[in-house]
Homo-oligomer: A and B are copies of this chain.
């Protein structure tokens, strides 16, 4: 195939510069167990921004190149260069997931069986037009599912299912979720309703509360209210939630969640203990929307843990059968439970416009970009 295959790359060079560009490469030949997927839709996830922007000062980025081949350049402070030394001089292909049509397949029957199918792929730089993927890594969608519907098949759906699975595996019975009005939060809300799990949604704005209320959420607490801690504690008492997932990290929300859990846990203690209650309280931090320090005020005894939560590490803890069942559920419910909502569609060239970058770089809750690499 002599067609062009455009991919979005992020390159850090020795002179403390980050460059984002569109690179033309060949369309690969599939190995025996591989297929070639024409990527028709790929979501711009927060984790993609981390790869794209790395530690560069994007507020002062400049744009050059042409309209169809824009180039973005940004400076990296010298102090940050050691932390990215393994990236220097390499063009890193960006894009964690995406979906499209299988247009070529290797010789194996499993690969041949996917010809013409809509599949979702994970990893490898999906912000491109054509990608080679191993058959086993493809999530095969049912006929009738479009690439746009299938674009976000991995990161959000599997993170949500991993949260629920972690809750069950670790013996908790209800979940607290922060920044709960996000696409992921809406998905978690739908899964919890379907599975009969109590979910406490923490939001910051009235309209987010309204949105989730309309989606059937029962427990919603607004962290902007003066009554936030009391509201959260009341919801914890009602649900018995002892596990929380927080994509924010920085600040003291994690500490507040643990303290409210402890107030709920300690309310029935007849004997005072300087160690607090013995009810175990867990907060998983799965994002870094606030990159500032996490402050733990320790008003929650000794039976607690705060941990990082990363999809690929967590999936390794589940049995293969559990993961297969998760993937099948995603395929079965991609237009319902796991439906994603995008506010903007952009081409690869449009991703590299300063104005667009300023907008999606904010990671505002409710705003979500879908890249259409064929556009």
Contact = CB atoms under 8 A, between A and B. Distances in A.
Given A303-B308, A313-B302, A54 B274 contact: yes
B296 A296 contact: yes
A295 interface: yes
B294 A295 contact: yes
Given A274-B51, A303-B310, A306-B305, A295 B298 contact: no
Contacts of A295: 293-296
A272 interface: yes
Nearest to A254: B296
Copies of this chain, count: 2
A271 B306 CA distance: 27
Interface in A267-298: 269-272, 274-275, 278, 280, 285-286, 288, 291, 293-298
Given A298-B250, A306-B306, A307-B305, A269 B54 contact: no
Contacts of A249: 298
Given A54-B274, A288-B298, A293-B296, A86 B305 contact: no
If over half of A's interface residues share one DSSP class (helix, strand or loop), that class is named, otherwise mixed; here it is mixed
A308 B51 CA distance: 33
Interface string A235-275: 00000000000000110100100000000000001111011
A272 B307 contact: no
A294 B298 contact: yes
A84 B272 contact: yes
Given A86-B271, A301-B308, A305-B308, 10 more contacts: A47-B274, A50-B274, A54-B274, A92-B272, A249-B298, A255-B293, A286-B302, A293-B296, A302-B308, A304-B308
19 contacts: A50-B274, A54-B274, A86-B269, A86-B270, A87-B272, A249-B298, A252-B293, A278-B310, A278-B312, A286-B302, A288-B298, A291-B298, A293-B295, A295-B295, A295-B296, A301-B310, A302-B309, A303-B308, A303-B310
